[in-house]
Every structure is written in C-alpha cells, then in structure tokens.
Amino acid sequence: MDVVRAINFWDKSSKCPNCIGLPEERLIVLHTLAHKFAVLTISSAGTRWSVEEERMIVKGIIEWWVEKYKLEKLPLVALAASSGGYFVSMLATDMRFSSITVMISAGLFHQMDITKDYPPTLFVHMPKDEARKQKIDANLRFLKEEGIDVAEVKCMEFPLSPNFLADRIPGLDKTISMNYLIYSGTRALLTRMVI
C-alpha cells in the first residue's frame, strides 16, 4: 500500500489542519520553494494511483491551478513516487511537462507510445532493489533509444549521524535524535539476535 499523500508534504497550519509534514517530504517542498518554484501536491482518491480512472481528473486539477495562479508561461514539472511514478509517467503523455522525476518506480514506458516530445525523465531509485533496478535500466535504454533525455540518481545507503532526525524535524533536539537512533539500533540488533 502506498502511503505518499499530499498532506505529508506540508506542515500543519490553520490552512492545512490535517497536514503532518513528514521530514523528507517537507524538505522536498522547502527546497523547491527556495528555488522559486510553485508547488502543488495531489493525492490519489485511493491508496494507489489508478492511471485510467484518475488521469484526466489530475490533468484538470493541474490545468485549473496553473490558470488560477497565472503560471501558464512557466515550466511545468512533475515529481512522483511509487505508484505515483507510474501514474506521472503516463500523465506525461497527456500534458506538456518540461521534465518529470519518477522516484522508486520504473514507470509504464513500455505500455505507451513515446513520442519525441516526451519530457526529459529522471529516475530516482535504490539500486539494492534489484528487480526494480532491472526495469529502470531497461527503461533508461528504451527512452534513450527513443531520443528522450533521461538520467538516474541512485540512492545509496549511508550511516546515520546523531543529528540525522534533528536536522530534518523542526523542534526535535539533538539529544532526542541521538537517543532514538541508539534505541532503534539496539532494537534492530536485538531483533537480529533473536531471529
């Protein structure tokens, strides 16, 4: 089940009382806004995106929002994760995106007609997921053969620092961050020892 929801990207506020602002998602928004982009987040009506049922609805929402804020002359980009990545890869055949980013998803490229005006595509993925990596590698080759600019970012594992959580969660101090990581690491180690 996908859990990437629009409310994950925004801090709780009077305008968004149900927003929860998850650490990585809110950082995406903050960095995007800092680069002077306007940000619109849209959730699927269900737990996973339905390409056939929701495509024209989302297209209409984006077109309405762009027109409302008079953004028609600006580049339009899309970023989506998991089933949203599959969804955006298909939505890009209906809309004129300047580029798309597909995260932890291989996209649906072999199920559609790719034309020369398909947008440049960036895959962001974790190569330790070997099955998905193979699909992404095949799609990288396929899109290149079709003349589409394509690239990938491989997200590799990295050691957690004591400040990892404190650097991402407003109001969380470094002591709590460090204690949580110590607790989590100890719990994970104990779990491995028991199994």
Please list the pLDDT of the chain residue by residue as tens digits (195 residues): 455 789 999 999 999 999 999 988 999 999 999 999 999 999 998 888 888 899 999 999 999 999 999 999 999 999 999 999 999 999 999 999 999 999 999 999 989 989 999 999 999 999 999 999 999 999 999 999 999 999 999 999 887 788 888 888 888 888 887 887 777 765 554 444 444
DSSP state of 44: -
Largest CA distance in the chain: 59
125-173 confidence digits (pLDDT tens): 999 999 999 999 999 999 999 999 999 999 998 877 888 888 888 888 8
Kindly list the distances between the CA atom of residue 53 and the CA atoms of 48, 91, 94, 143, 172, in Å, as whole numbers in the listed order.
11, 12, 14, 25, 40
Query: Where does CATH 3.40.50.1820 sit in the chain?
Result: 42-157
Kindly list the distances between the CA atom of residue 71 and the CA atoms of 117, 118, 143, 150, 152, in Å, as whole numbers in the listed order.
21, 21, 29, 26, 28
Q: Which two tokens stand for residue 170?
A: 């407003």
Kindly list the distances between the CA atom of residue 103 and the CA atoms of 74, 126, 153, 184, in Å, as whole numbers in the listed order.
23, 9, 9, 26
pLDDT confidence of residue 134: 97
d(CA 39, CA 9): 10
pTM for the structure as a whole: 0.85
Superfamily of domain 42-157 in the CATH hierarchy = Alpha/Beta hydrolase fold, catalytic domain (3.40.50.1820)
